């Protein structure tokens, strides 16, 4: 019998070309954790995330690395052993991809929007209204990347 899922405490997430190590959580927009990394009782990393476009409309929702909702005009590609992808049907463009790179390493690309704060995480960087975040290694902080309408913080550790 499988045990409950727990928060992953030691992992690496590649997000927009940035390596985020051992942080909890990796990405926060407007005080909402948008990429939740957990692990199952076998220690496999699982991602839950809610992908939204610039207008805040849901494109897809992932639970345990699998698309559980895909909006009209998009389709999910789920092949065992391959990355999970969400593809826009009109032009076949991949708009989101979750890929396991190793037992404790996972890569995420896609678009996120919370309260009007929009980012696009591509293999080349995280594009925000504050600029582009790319090529960073963020290790051991409370939160990897924290974005709000008027602020951007990398390596944020709240006082507890």
**pLDDT of 99-133, one tens digit each?**
888 878 889 899 888 888 888 999 999 998 888 99
Q: How far apart are CA 32 and CA 45, in angstroms?
A: 20
pLDDT of res. 9: 59
> What pLDDT is recorded for position 29?
86
pLDDT digits (tens, 9 = 90+) for 32-79: 888 877 777 877 777 888 888 888 899 998 888 788 899 999 999 888
**CA 1/CA 157 separation, integer angstroms:** 36
Count other C-beta atoms under 10 Å from residue 115's C-beta: 12
The confidence band for 2, taking pLDDT boundaries of 50, 70 and 90, is: very low
- DSSP assignments along 49-108, one per residue: EEEE-TT--EEEEEETTEEEEE-TTEEEE--TTS-EEEEETTTTEEEEEEEEEETTEEEE
Residue 131, CB half-sphere, CA atoms under 13 Å: how many?
A: 6
What order do you get walking across the sheet with 45-52 strand by strand? 6-7, 35-39, 45-52, 58-63, 66-70
Contact 111, 34 (CB under 8 A): no
Token readout for 110 is: 């896609």
Residue-wise pLDDT tens digits, 11-21? 888 988 899 88
pLDDT value for 3:
45
As a whole number of angstroms, the distance between CA 118 and CA 143 comes to 18
Give the pLDDT score at 5. 45
């Amino acid at each position: 019998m499988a045990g409950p899922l727990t928060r992953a405490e030691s992992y690496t997430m590649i997000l927009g070309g940035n390596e985020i190590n051992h942080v909890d959580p990796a990405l926060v927009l407007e005080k909402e954790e948008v990429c939740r990394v957990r692990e199952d009782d076998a220690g496999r990393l699982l991602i839950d995330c809610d992908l939204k476009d610039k207008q805040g409309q849901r494109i897809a929702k992932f639970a345990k690395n699998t698309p559980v909702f895909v909006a009209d005009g998009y389709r999910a590609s789920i092949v065992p052993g391959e990355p999970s992808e969400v593809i826009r049907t009109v032009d076949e463009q991949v708009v989101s991809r979750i890929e396991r790179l190793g037992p404790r390493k996972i890569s995420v690309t896609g678009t996120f929007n919370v309260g009007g704060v929009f980012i696009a995480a591509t293999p080349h960087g995280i594009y925000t209204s504050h600029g582009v975040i790319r090529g960073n290694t963020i290790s051991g902080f409370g939160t990897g990347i924290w974005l709000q309408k008027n602020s951007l913080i990398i390596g944020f550790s709240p006082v507890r």
